[in-house]
Amino acid sequence: MSPVTITVVNGDAPISDVRVLLINTEADSRIWSSTGKTNASGVAVISSTLRTHNRAGAKPGTYKVTLAQSISLPPELQPAEEETEAAIPNAPMQAKRTEYFAKNRVVPQAFEDITTTPIELTVIENTPAALTVDVAKR
């Protein structure tokens, strides 16, 4: 395993609460799950899991990197109890939520999918890997 950190920024501003997933493009290494979540400084420290074994870093290889931004709804846009119980969204409120997500999304949606993310990383055995992703430049 090699230490891996991914920093996610928008220009000079760090982006917190971004789930980072490394997907190894080499078939024999896909059984490891390598993930992290950005902190207030925009830094995610990657750890890898195989079944119940968790290790810091990632195995050597070439990875596609996906980013999924967590966006919390403000209280006034939270689903009402009757919406939650009936599992039927209030259409006007749902439209407001969709608009809120669109306005507050900083990480491009294309970065969430392995088939559309432009981000790649190569990890070399026993060599720390660090990548900064500036979403303003992509």
Name the token pair of 138.
């992509």
Which alpha helices (DSSP H) does the chain contain, by range?
81-86, 91-104
pTM to 2 decimal places: 0.83
SS3 96: helix
Q: What is the pLDDT of residue 62?
A: 92
Neighbours of 18 (CB within 10 A): 23
Please determine, for residue 84, whether its predicted confidence score (pLDDT) is greater than 70: no
Name the one residue in this structure whose structure tokens are 């119980």: 85
Model pLDDT for residues 113-123, shown as the tens digit of each residue? 999 999 999 99
More confidently predicted of 31 and 1? 1
Dihedral sign from CA coordinates of 35, 38, 3, 52: negative
Give percent of the chain above pLDDT 70: 91
User: What pLDDT, in 10s, does the model give residues 46-81?
Assistant: 999 988 889 999 999 999 999 999 888 888 888 777
Domains of the chain: 4-75+107-137 (2.60.40)
- The arithmetic mean of pLDDT across residues 98-113, rounded, is 91
